[in-house]
Amino acid sequence: MSSELQQVIAQSNIAFGTSGARGLVTDFTDEVCAAFAQSFIKVMLGSFSFTRVAIGIDNRPSSPQMAAACAGALESIGYSVDYYGVLPTPALAFQAMQDKVPAIMVTGSHIPFDRNGLKFYRPDGEISKEDEQAILSVSDALVSFVSALPATSSVASDNYIQRYLDIYPQQMLAGKRIGIYEHSSAGRDLYHTIFTKLGAEVTSLERTNTFVPIDTEAVTEADQQKGLDWSRQHGFDAIFSTDGDGDRPLIADEKGQWLRGDIVGLLCAKALGIQSLAVPVSCNTAIEQAGVFTTVVRTKIGSPYVIAAFANLTGSVAGFEANGGFLLGSDVTVSGQLLKALPTRDALLPGLALLALAGEQPLSKLTQTLPQRYTASDRLQQVPTQWSKDFLAKAALSPEELLTQLGQSARQIQSLDQTDGLRMQFVDGDIVHLRPSGNAPELRCYAESAEQVGAQVLVQVILNAVKGLLN
C-alpha cells in the first residue's frame, strides 16, 4: 500500500527551521528523504519547468545515504540528477541558478553530527516560507524507488572557484600567509585552491575525517585558543574557516582573534559598495551607526526572511546574518568585473572581500574604523523549544519580572522588540536578545555592549540565570 507524502513527513519528527528541514539522523529514513524530495519537486512544478535536479552533500557520515534516497526518488518520477558530491552549499546553489534547475543540499550545517538536514533551492534561489508550507502539504503517493547516487560531477565546484578568480586580481594575496582551518568543512579543498591561485601562502590546519560541528555564532573556547596559538606559531595574516556546509564564515585577523559574523558582513557590504541592506534583528547596531548604507531593514532570523526583504530594496542589495553568511541580492561590479547575485548565505565572498578591502594593512585595522559596538552570543543546549517559547511569551508580558529573575533588576528598559524572540534595549545602551533556535532544542542569547568583555559577561550572566530557572 502506497504512503501519502504528507503523512510520511508529518510522522517523521523532521521540521523546517531557520534554514531547511532539520532533525535526527535516525528520523531521516530513506522513505522520509524520498518524500521530501518528491514533495519539493511537486511544489516546484507549480512555477517552473525543468528536467533535471541538482544534489550536493556535506561531509557528515549520514549525508551520502540521504542523498541516495533523494536521487532514487527523483529518478523514479522521471528526473535526471546532477550529483556534485561534497561541496559548499553556495556552490550548489550558484550552479543550480545558472542552470535554472531546483537543487537539494544534504547538510545539517553546524548542528551535531547525530542530526542532519535538507536545504531546498528553487531555480531562482532559496525556497520561501510559503514554499516550505507547500512542501509539507503535498498529498501525492510516495513512489517506489531504489536509493542510488549517480557519478559525481566537479562542474559546480569548478564554477564556484572560477566565480571568484574572475573578479579578483591573480596576485591579490601575494605575500600573504593564510591559514585554513579545514576540519570537516565541505569546501576545504576549494578554499585551498582559491587562496593559492590568488597568490597566498596557504597552510592547512586540523583537517579531519570526523565531523566537527562548528557554530560561527558560538565559537568554543577551544577554537578561540586555537586561533591565537596558530597565529603566534605561523605568523598568519588571516585564518579562514567555515561551518560544516560552507555558508557561514569564520575569519580571524592577524592576531588570531575570530571576527564576529555581523562585523564581517558589515565590512563585506562596505567593500562591495552595497547601498541597501536586509539583516536579522540580532545583528550589531554598528551597521546603522556606520552611516555607510542608504537603507537598513531588520528582519526575523533566517535567510528566507532576509531574502524576502530584498524585494523592497533599491540600488545594490545584500544581506547578512549574525553568523556571517553573506547574501548578495543583486549583481555588483568588483574590480571592474561583474559579480552575479547569489541570494543565499556564502562564506567565501566575505573572506575574500575583507582581504581585498584591507590591502596591505592588517585585518584588525578594518574593525577600528567602525563604531565601537560589541556583540557576543552563546546558547543553552537541550532546552525544549516549547519551554523557551512559553518562557519568552510570559517574559514579554512582564519584562520587569524577567529582569529580576535574570539578576538585572537595576536596569531600565528603553525598548522591547519581539520581531524574533525577545530583544531588550536598555537605557545604558546594552542589549539582550533571547530566542529559541530554529534548528535545534536550544535557547540562544545575544548581547551587545560598548565593551567586548561587557557583552561576553552579559551573555554568560543571562544564560546562567536562565539555566537556574530551567532546573
Quote the pLDDT of residue 112.
82
DSSP letter, residue 354 = H
- For domain 166-368, the CATH superfamily is Alpha-D-Glucose-1,6-Bisphosphate, subunit A, domain 3 (3.40.120.10)
* Residues listed for the chain: 471
pTM for the full predicted model: 0.90
Per residue in 145-204, pLDDT tens?
999 999 999 999 999 999 999 999 999 999 999 999 999 999 999 999 999 999 999 999
Is 76 part of the annotated catalytic residue set?
Answer: no
**pLDDT reported for residue 18:** 75
Q: Which three cell numbers stand for residue 163?
A: 566565480
One fold for 5-154 and 374-470: no
For β-strands 342-346 and 326-328, DSSP reports them as antiparallel
Largest Cα–Cα separation, the chain: 67
User: How confident is the model at residue 2, as a pLDDT?
Assistant: 58
Residue type, 333: T
Domain assignments of the chain as residue spans, ordered by start: 5-154, 166-368, 374-470
| Integer Rg of the chain from CA | 22
374-470: CATH topology: TATA-Binding Protein (3.30.310)
Which residues contact residue 158 at a Cβ distance below 8 angstroms, ignoring those fewer than 6 apart? Answer: none
Ranges under pLDDT 50 in the chain: 1
**Active-site hit among 63, 109, 157, 185:** 109
Q: What is the DSSP string of 191-257?
A: HHHHHHHTT-EEEEEEE-SS-----TTS--HHHHHHHHHHHHHH--SEEEEE-TTSSSEEEE-TTSP
Architecture of domain 5-154: 3-Layer(aba) Sandwich (3.40)
